[in-house]
Amino acid sequence: MGKSSYNFFTNEGSLRTLSTQERKINLQRLLLFKHLFSQGQANCGELSDALNISYPNALNLLQRLTKEGFIKSNEQKRNKIFSINENNELLTLTIQVGIKKSYATLNDQFYDKKEEKSIDNIVSPIKDLGQGLQAIYGSIIKTLKLAQKDIIGVSFILPPFSEFRGNFPTPEALQDLESELQSYSKKFISIINYSNAIQRATYEKYKLKLNNSLIITINNEVGLAIVSNGRMNNREHFPGSEFGHFPIKNNGTLCSCGKKDCLETQISYFAIIKQINHELSKGVKSLIEPDNHCIQNIIDKALAGDQLAIDTIYKAGNILGKAISILVQLIDPSEVLIVSELSRSSNVFSNGIFSGLNLYCPLKKTNQLKIIFEKNNSDKLVLGSFYTIWDKIFRKKQSELQISA
């Protein structure tokens, strides 16, 4: 059973031999599966309406998918409810690429965690991203003893843009790298960055409530995803987040992208730590120990009332408020979701943001704007990666089948 579903998602070679009619049927099967994947369950009528497939045709395809083991049905008061079959595992792998170590998480199609492993990188992904990712993938497959298992997709989460020190691949190079890894591994491959993963997870959590919204992520980098008409923009091959690299303050701080005054040089974790170190070196009194380079520690000290920590986080919030004001004028979102550990600093960070908004954003817009604060965690990273790889599988498979014979 596992084998046939694996083939359904991967049989690239046999595509050429499919007739137009077979393509159409496979496309409809894929869309039925995709709908159940994202909605959980539905009956034949709902699926037929949602996908614009005739009722008898949908029923026929659903019966076929059930027979093949992809989906199952439950009879409730003579109404058959269809959902994804848990007995037919479809595995995806998330590889969180670190500088020295990488972490792998294996999930099934319900996001149930199957296995977790870490490995030491043999080739540095910073020096040679292509060789690095290939080597990491190889070690993980070996460590997980996955050769026999049916993983259909792999998503790599890259280290922050700044770690690459100007060596970050162009969007075109990243796309080529994905194709290279795809032909090497025979899996669907997605290469994303940390912020993409967090944004995708946040979108998934709120998606039904989002219409025109912004999702801003602040960690070691600063990122933005735009949700318009309920759909999140697809920025697969980011050249570093443009939002994090827009110039905001005129003080000449050099950014990892080579330019000066980027937002990221003001409000990322790195920037906050750097500012605190600078103040400490000038002899400013603080509860923060000079060598404690950790954002968690700085937030804890802010919560304990440390003035240097409070001032620095407040100032970062204020600059973010200014940046959001620009976005509000350009895009006019109804809500802004801010995902960061800084949200943990009680209302120090949010007070900073509101002060920035009050200063730079028309009051009418500020009053209408809803700001939602979300904390960051590593579960979000894997969850976002999980959805990103399934997005990719559906999108690639769909476009393959849509190309007319």
Which residues of the shown chain bind Zn ion in the complex (CB under 5 A)? Answer: 245, 255, 257, 259, 262
The residue whose two tokens read 């075109």 is 172
User: Are 81 and 94 in contact, with CB atoms under 8 Å apart?
Assistant: no
Whole-number Å distance between alpha carbons of 359 and 323: 11
Instruction: 228-234: list long-range contacts, CB under 8 Å, 24+ apart.
Output: 232/199, 232/200, 232/203, 232/207, 234/391
Least Å distance, CB 400 to Zn ion, is 37
Least Å distance, CB 262 to Zn ion, is 3
Whichever of 222 and 361 has its CB closer to Zn ion, that residue is: 222
Whichever of 97 and 255 has its CB closer to Zn ion, that residue is: 255
Contacts of 171 (CB under 8 A, 6+ apart): 237, 238, 239
Whichever of 113 and 259 has its CB closer to Zn ion, that residue is: 259
Whichever of 72 and 260 has its CB closer to Zn ion, that residue is: 260
Least Å distance, CB 266 to Zn ion, is 10
Least Å distance, CB 251 to Zn ion, is 14
Q: Determine which helix (DSSP H) or strand (DSSP E) holds 397, and give its type and residue range.
A: helix 378-402
Whichever of 245 and 397 has its CB closer to Zn ion, that residue is: 245
Least Å distance, CB 259 to Zn ion, is 5
Torsion, Cα of 381, 383, 388, 389 (10° steps): 110
Question: Which is nearest to 93 in space by CA: 125, 123, 119?
Answer: 119
Whichever of 166 and 305 has its CB closer to Zn ion, that residue is: 166
Least Å distance, CB 264 to Zn ion, is 5
Least Å distance, CB 135 to Zn ion, is 29
Least Å distance, CB 12 to Zn ion, is 39
Whichever of 223 and 333 has its CB closer to Zn ion, that residue is: 223
Q: What is the residue-wise DSSP string for 224-269? A: EEEEETTEE---TT-SS-TTTTSB---S-PBPTTS-BSBTHHHHSH
Whole-number Å distance between alpha carbons of 112 and 91: 10
Whichever of 221 and 335 has its CB closer to Zn ion, that residue is: 221
The residue whose two tokens read 């014979």 is 405
For residue 223, what are the CA distances in angstroms to 7, 106, 177, 312?
36, 26, 22, 20
- Judged by DSSP in three states, 77 sits in coil
Query: From start to end of 345-397, where are the E strands?
Result: 370-374
